[in-house]
Amino acid sequence: MKQLRIGMIGYKFMGKAHSNAYRALPMFFPGALQPEMAVLCGRNGEAAREAADRLGWPEVATEWKEVVARDDIDLIDINAPSDTHKEIALAAAKAGKHIFCEKPLALSLQDAREMLAAAEAAGVTHMVGFNYRFSPAVKLAKKLVESGRLGQIYHFRAWFLQDWILDPEFPLVWRLQKDVAGSGSHGDLGAHLIDLAHYLAGDIREVIGMSETFIKERPLAENMTGLSAKSSKDAPKGPVTVDDATLFLARFENGALGSFEATRFAAGHRSTNAFEINGSLGSVKFDFERMNELEVYFTSDDEDVQGFRRVLATDPAHAYSEAWWPPGHTLGFEHTFTHEMLELTSAIREGRQPEPNFRDGVKCQAVLEAVERSVDERRWVEISEM
Amino acid sequence: MKQLRIGMIGYKFMGKAHSNAYRALPMFFPGALQPEMAVLCGRNGEAAREAADRLGWPEVATEWKEVVARDDIDLIDINAPSDTHKEIALAAAKAGKHIFCEKPLALSLQDAREMLAAAEAAGVTHMVGFNYRFSPAVKLAKKLVESGRLGQIYHFRAWFLQDWILDPEFPLVWRLQKDVAGSGSHGDLGAHLIDLAHYLAGDIREVIGMSETFIKERPLAENMTGLSAKSSKDAPKGPVTVDDATLFLARFENGALGSFEATRFAAGHRSTNAFEINGSLGSVKFDFERMNELEVYFTSDDEDVQGFRRVLATDPAHAYSEAWWPPGHTLGFEHTFTHEMLELTSAIREGRQPEPNFRDGVKCQAVLEAVERSVDERRWVEISEM
Amino acid sequence: MKQLRIGMIGYKFMGKAHSNAYRALPMFFPGALQPEMAVLCGRNGEAAREAADRLGWPEVATEWKEVVARDDIDLIDINAPSDTHKEIALAAAKAGKHIFCEKPLALSLQDAREMLAAAEAAGVTHMVGFNYRFSPAVKLAKKLVESGRLGQIYHFRAWFLQDWILDPEFPLVWRLQKDVAGSGSHGDLGAHLIDLAHYLAGDIREVIGMSETFIKERPLAENMTGLSAKSSKDAPKGPVTVDDATLFLARFENGALGSFEATRFAAGHRSTNAFEINGSLGSVKFDFERMNELEVYFTSDDEDVQGFRRVLATDPAHAYSEAWWPPGHTLGFEHTFTHEMLELTSAIREGRQPEPNFRDGVKCQAVLEAVERSVDERRWVEISEM
Amino acid sequence: MKQLRIGMIGYKFMGKAHSNAYRALPMFFPGALQPEMAVLCGRNGEAAREAADRLGWPEVATEWKEVVARDDIDLIDINAPSDTHKEIALAAAKAGKHIFCEKPLALSLQDAREMLAAAEAAGVTHMVGFNYRFSPAVKLAKKLVESGRLGQIYHFRAWFLQDWILDPEFPLVWRLQKDVAGSGSHGDLGAHLIDLAHYLAGDIREVIGMSETFIKERPLAENMTGLSAKSSKDAPKGPVTVDDATLFLARFENGALGSFEATRFAAGHRSTNAFEINGSLGSVKFDFERMNELEVYFTSDDEDVQGFRRVLATDPAHAYSEAWWPPGHTLGFEHTFTHEMLELTSAIREGRQPEPNFRDGVKCQAVLEAVERSVDERRWVEISEM
């Protein structure tokens, strides 16, 4: 296999990020198995055509089932709204296609499990889009944890803070509707934190959470792009059916204590996706707004010069850096997707499952739902219950 | 009353901080009712004498009951270990003395309530030592909240992170023994966070927590000063009976969501006492390691220059600053105590209760115990239960 | 003109950055006049072919004169080593091609002036590669200065600190040889600072500088990529003929005071390209290692909340942001080139000269040489002398 | 000698800082030779009495000559305006008193040399008030330099930025009048930078500078306290006769390159007294607004975790820390004076000259004047000329 022909379902925020990644791979990772952008699929043919022209897809389709059925497609990239993931993934697996699916994998744990089972039964490659794993600074954190340089993990705390719906007049976009989005800040932002926790600190044993919808009703949206949207004056209002903020405590299998917070009501935080890990030998801190940096502390440093180091993860010693620019020349948000797609095509070429794959998506979904149950039932919920 | 004659019980870390504050008042706040350092009391007469000479107390006593009984003493300053607070405070109230008591007010909510009742019955002034309220930057946060400049409060998150017992060989000092200290990181560090929450975000309705003692046994201590201590090689070990870390979630009466974490196992954090408040109109962030700074965000800033401002709270517009040094010339940890004692003597002169007083101490204790109950019973606990 | 056919001379660090920018334009700025990557030219045919395949150029040439002579090429992009710029640019102008030339424009002011004269005589578009102007945060600084929101400028201070040749065993690459590179840190790094000064603070009237070559001899290089290189053990040594560090003071025409420092000997600084501007109404600070941020201060802020704001220049109110990702999703080094090429093609379509163009290149060169003269003659040198 | 009886001339900003330091020594450094605050001297008897009461001086004098003449005074502390330093110091030396003199030592190098000669001839202890040396973080920087852990020094850059006279209506206080203050930002702020340079990077060989007075005339002042002052509406104006800002380049004897900037026109900087040192093995950064921190970088750190460490200089491994509070509990501006006075009394007890002493004051004055000459004559000036 010299190239991997891709059919992409969806073309908004994530479709743009994926297309950019596919286009970057040949230039920056020329040795990789290269994606071939074959067909872009969207329900609205005209909008899909416009997107395809812009994003670099030669062909357009309006029926995803036709795309899944095509013989000349190797991989289905699912980034349409969350309520479509399951049906498309099941069909893709059945058709023997490799699958990349954006997070959250599904609207429910049950659905996620079906998707995993289908992909495994079909023997196809499956991956889920937890892109933040692919920041070089996060890779450095992973390396420090895995190599034991932080020692035993005592604490993992993480928060994903945004403020894009702080204004009560911000309209009721699909991300605020449970039937389409599944959940609000919890599934959208908290899911990333949970995956990072799994990746960096291990499995979670039990959780207890707290949720709130601060603004119960919002004007109906007129149009929407990315995360921005507008409504007309005096637009009628509809109910917000997802959480504005969800926090939870967690106990990990290894005894570490976890604290998680996802909110869209943190004024001044455009997208603070941050975590800290404290171990017996050291600590690390990360904030995606300064994604090129990892703060690192070691207890073994000389007594008079102990302190958190601001490591700029752009040196040859850091993941991916040699593909890009000289030390000190930083990367941005989009590069996480390029690295993510590199993992996807590398795994396919090597005949292994990429990480994170549907198993990770299921694990994340289990924690998401356990938190929701803990909120509903006001009690600690063990993940093994789920 | 031209001066306030003080009898101080205890002379270690807090006794030193209080003495320094008493001595600073005449120089920096000459208009205030001035404390007169009259007698220092400690069980070990020799050590007390050494401390008195160093800290500036002309007289020494070894029996606190004698100090409380003296006619020439106006105020009892209690900073002996936590298990002594109640008995001394009750006696002081009975003797009609004003009382300053270090936090935590008592080992139990029941005890704290008795202390408050006794002080109120005696009609004396009572204050509890939540010194962090008295950082100029915290006063600024308070002003922004109270004046409505942050709008409705959605989130209060706070963490007090230390690492002084990270080493498993660090000895079993009194702060690690429940019968003396009452609790561990929760009562020592978490208590400060809870008081700041009450001060800045309002009353808490319900909580659920999680606790852990990572290191179950430690070598017995030989000697101890401040927070440092030593044990001999091959010292026998004893059980750690307090928590190493306690986290909890909270719901405030006003609907805000709270997240709290106190730990002594956060490598690299010598004393990170930090909080953030997110409101509908703005946010503030504080970290005691940079205590002169408050980060402030307003949603009303012009669209192209929105961002957290690093406000150095040393300008004439900031609390206490005119007493000290020109703008940009910073204060340190000890100044919080000077401001605290200024509030104490000001309240006495003005015939009002200072803030924070035993009511605040009781409120804090109620939350501390509610968290402990929530940990024991693995359920949400309402403060009104307590 | 629907597309702009490009012949690119050079394919190393800058050739890669330019190619990436050309490829990004259609996706992110679909409304722009689009570049068509036509032919890549390099003296080593094999290496050029490899680069062309990787970077996306369909055709390869080894003789730049042939490329310049082709009728089907609209623009020559010059990013070969600095000593080739002049000859290529003169030929391109003569052939009526638009020209993009990397900085420094030439090895001497005299050469730079010839290049400008030739381009102007030929009536072609000309641009010089001061890419840092195109950081959104720098654009914000420009907007604040131009709109008067910072008031009268009193101070401009800037420093470009690197450490890639700190090791005395780092080999003698072409950037350390005067005949190829023209100068060292001064022309490589200082040139960017000077251009930013011109852009943000205005014309410079006079300068005085200081230079040093700390390591006088280095092992000859064996091979080199980007800024990294290797030499064999016991390689013979050759003389370093450029400056390791150059500092200078400047007085601007508007009375502002300037301070500049460029060095490759600042341990810990991979690429700190930073400046600060102090005006009568406010200040701004920028550091390219955190390129998405601009710190902004206004004297008009309320007295109790004055402080530098950390503005993340990713909001809709900031330049270019709507083309990319939602607020808080950051850009990296390479995006400055995309914006630079957008300015290039926009200017061509609009029939104007882009900014910065050869006039800016000449102005920068005049200051560079004035500084060198001031170093040689140990005296203040007026730019008007040059 | 059990105590050191002090006569202090002056009682404003510095008099307050010194008094506080004298009072702090017995509590925090009980083992030291202790100062005895004997008599405070000021020309205005009433104001001096008020200050003495507040600052803790039992006795007041209005004629400094009488104080100098008293047999019961061991040390004269000179912190009156700069134009009085010389006469008082000469008289104190003649009377055989130890001398502490605030910086700048004198209004001219000639005067400073006379003062040093007089003190040496009299065999008295002499010290000059460069208090910033006594920040624990600066002591750490010194230790790292002296022990060779930073290697050979290549760069020393420093800036002292304030903004208290940014408003053109700020009145013409004595610090803006050459006959009283000697110079403006240069002598007031730059002097501190020069002393830190001498302390940390060694002797300076030659300098070239640039000065500016941005606001040439200001309203006459009515009253003044510390750095703040007021003038009445329509107050008449007088000429500002000192520099608002002075910058200079320097070459050190050891080959290092220096860059210095002192200004009172840096909006947003209340008192940014900052420096950075780059050596062959590492770097340090300091900013007095965060005076408890030193940023430290080592080239020897493992390749994947290289970065500036934020060291909080409050650990037992740091200077003075054991006298104060537990790790993480910070100090402020005033503590530098306590440490300074500790050095003073320690030196007297040990029969050695303290550091910095008048020799350092003379060295600093030589550089200050060399810079002034370089500004006047627009040329490089060698310190050996002076």
Buried b (16+ CB within 10 A) or exposed e, D349-373: eeeebbebbbbbbbbbbbbbbbbbb
Question: How many angstroms separate the CA atoms of C84 and C73, rounded?
Answer: 19
Helices C45-55 and C13-28, axial angle in degrees (round to 10):
30
Looking at the structure, tell me whether residues A124 and A149 fall in a common domain. Answer: no
Q: What CATH number does the domain containing C23 carry?
A: 3.40.50.720
What are the φ/ψ torsions at residue D165 (nearest 5 degrees)?
A: -115, 20
Looking at the structure, tell me whether residues B86 and B195 fall in a common domain. Answer: no
Distance from CA of C82 to the nearest CA of D (A): 28
How would you class D59 by CB atoms within 10 Å of its CB: exposed for 0-12, middle for 13-18, buried for 19 or more?
middle
Q: Which of D271, D290, D315 is the closest to B327 by Cβ? A: D271
Question: How many angstroms separate the CA atoms of D18 and D11, rounded?
Answer: 9
Looking at the structure, tell me whether residues B13 and B152 fall in a common domain. Answer: no
Helices B358-377 and B109-122, axial angle in degrees (round to 10):
160
D22 lies in some domain: yes
Does A326 contact C289 at a Cβ distance shorter than 8 Å?
no
**Dihedral sign computed on CA atoms, order A288, A289, A292, A298:** negative
Looking at the structure, tell me whether residues A142 and A93 fall in a common domain. Answer: no
Looking at the structure, tell me whether residues C292 and C151 fall in a common domain. Answer: yes
Q: What CATH number does the domain containing D176 carry?
A: 3.30.360.10
How would you class A281 by CB atoms within 10 Å of its CB: exposed for 0-12, middle for 13-18, buried for 19 or more?
middle
Distance from CA of B107 to the nearest CA of D (A): 24
Which of C104, C131, C158 is a domain's end point? C131
Looking at the structure, tell me whether residues B166 and B117 fall in a common domain. Answer: no
Amino acid B193: pLDDT:
98
Per-residue pLDDT of chain D (386 residues; tens, 9 = 90+): 578 999 999 999 999 999 999 999 999 999 999 999 999 999 999 999 999 999 999 999 999 999 999 999 999 999 998 899 999 999 999 999 999 999 989 999 999 999 999 999 999 999 999 999 999 999 999 999 999 999 999 999 999 999 999 999 999 988 899 988 888 999 999 999 999 999 999 999 999 999 999 999 999 877 666 566 777 778 899 999 999 999 999 999 999 999 999 999 999 999 999 999 999 999 999 999 999 999 999 999 999 999 999 999 999 999 999 999 999 999 999 999 999 999 999 999 999 999 999 999 999 999 999 999 999 999 999 999 99
| Residue-wise pLDDT tens digits, C280-327 | 999 999 999 999 999 999 999 999 999 999 999 999 999 999 999 999
C169 lies in some domain: yes
Domain range for B92 is 3-132
Looking at the structure, tell me whether residues C58 and C150 fall in a common domain. Answer: no
| Residue-wise pLDDT tens digits, B291-338 | 999 999 999 999 999 999 999 999 999 999 999 999 999 999 999 999
Chain A partners within 8 Å of D306 (Cβ): 309, 311, 315
Looking at the structure, tell me whether residues D26 and D90 fall in a common domain. Answer: yes
Looking at the structure, tell me whether residues D47 and D67 fall in a common domain. Answer: yes
Would you place residue C140 in the very low, low, confident or very high pLDDT band (cuts 50, 70, 90)?
very high
DSSP-derived letter for residue C172 is: B
Amino acid B234: pLDDT:
80
Looking at the structure, tell me whether residues C240 and C221 fall in a common domain. Answer: yes
Q: Which of A249, A268, A306 is the closest to B297 by Cβ? A: A268
Question: How many angstroms separate the CA atoms of C32 and C266, rounded?
Answer: 40
State the average pLDDT over residues A169-191: 91
Does D296 contact A307 at a Cβ distance shorter than 8 Å?
yes
- D183, D82 in Cβ contact below 8 A? no
C385 lies in some domain: no
C384 lies in some domain: no
What are the φ/ψ torsions at residue A93 (nearest 5 degrees)?
A: -60, -45
Question: How many angstroms separate the CA atoms of A76 and A89, rounded?
Answer: 8
A386 lies in some domain: no
Distance from CA of B281 to the nearest CA of D (A): 24
Domain count, chain D: 2
Looking at the structure, tell me whether residues D114 and D160 fall in a common domain. Answer: no
Residue A227 in contact with partner chain C when CB distance is under 8 A:
yes
- B192, B203 in Cβ contact below 8 A? no
List the structure tokens of D3. 């105590």
The interface residues of chain B toward chain C in range 272-331, judged by CB-CB distance below 8 A, are: 293, 295-296, 298, 301, 303-312, 315-318
Task: Concatenate the DSSP letters of all residues of D198-264 into one string.
Answer: HHHH--EEEEEEEEE-S--EEEBPSEEETTEEE--TT--EEE--S-SEEEEEEEETTS-EEEEEEES
Question: How many angstroms separate the CA atoms of A233 and A243, rounded?
Answer: 25
Does A27 contact C54 at a Cβ distance shorter than 8 Å?
yes
Does B315 contact D270 at a Cβ distance shorter than 8 Å?
yes
Residue D49 in contact with partner chain B when CB distance is under 8 A:
no
Q: What's CA A272's distance to the chain center, in Å?
A: 14
D108: number of Cβ within 10 Å: 16
* HEC profile of A249-297: EEEECCCCEEEEEEECCCCCCCCEEEEEEEECCEEEEEEHHHCCEEEEE
Chain A partners within 8 Å of B267 (Cβ): 278-283, 297, 299
D386 lies in some domain: no
How would you class D205 by CB atoms within 10 Å of its CB: exposed for 0-12, middle for 13-18, buried for 19 or more?
middle
Tell me what percent of the residues of chain B surpass a pLDDT of 70.
Answer: 98
Question: How many angstroms separate the CA atoms of C181 and C194, rounded?
Answer: 18
Tell me what percent of the residues of chain A surpass a pLDDT of 70.
Answer: 98
A383 lies in some domain: no
Name the one residue in this structure whose structure tokens are 């102990």: A306
Looking at the structure, tell me whether residues C94 and C154 fall in a common domain. Answer: no
Residue A378 in contact with partner chain B when CB distance is under 8 A:
yes
| Residue-wise pLDDT tens digits, B42-84 | 999 999 999 999 999 999 999 999 999 999 999 999 999 889 9
Amino acid C225: pLDDT:
60
Beta strands in chain A (DSSP E): 3-9, 34-41, 59-61, 75-78, 98-101, 126-128, 153-161, 204-212, 217-219, 223-225, 228-230, 237-239, 245-252, 257-263, 272-279, 282-287, 293-298, 307-312, 381-382
User: In whole angstroms, how large is the CA radius of gyration of chain C?
Assistant: 21
pLDDT value at B226 more than 60: no
Residue B210 in contact with partner chain A when CB distance is under 8 A:
yes
Q: Which of C155, C261, C307 is the closest to D157 by Cβ? A: C261
Which of C131, C155, C182 is a domain's end point? C131
Distance from CA of D281 to the nearest CA of A (A): 14
Q: Best interface-test mutation with D: which of A294, A296, A309 has the largest number of D CBs within 10 A?
A: A309
Distance from CA of D310 to the nearest CA of A (A): 5
Q: Which of C303, C317, C318 is the closest to B317 by Cβ? A: C303
Chain A partners within 8 Å of C23 (Cβ): 23, 27
Contacts of D311 (CB under 8 A, 6+ apart): A304, A305, A306, A307, D137, D140, D293, D294, D295, D296
Which of A132, A165, A180 is a domain's end point? A132
Q: What is the dihedral of CA B105, B111, B116, B117, to 10 degrees?
A: -170
C382 lies in some domain: no
Distance from CA of A160 to the nearest CA of C (A): 12
Amino acid D30: pLDDT:
94
Question: How many angstroms separate the CA atoms of C35 and C21, rounded?
Answer: 10
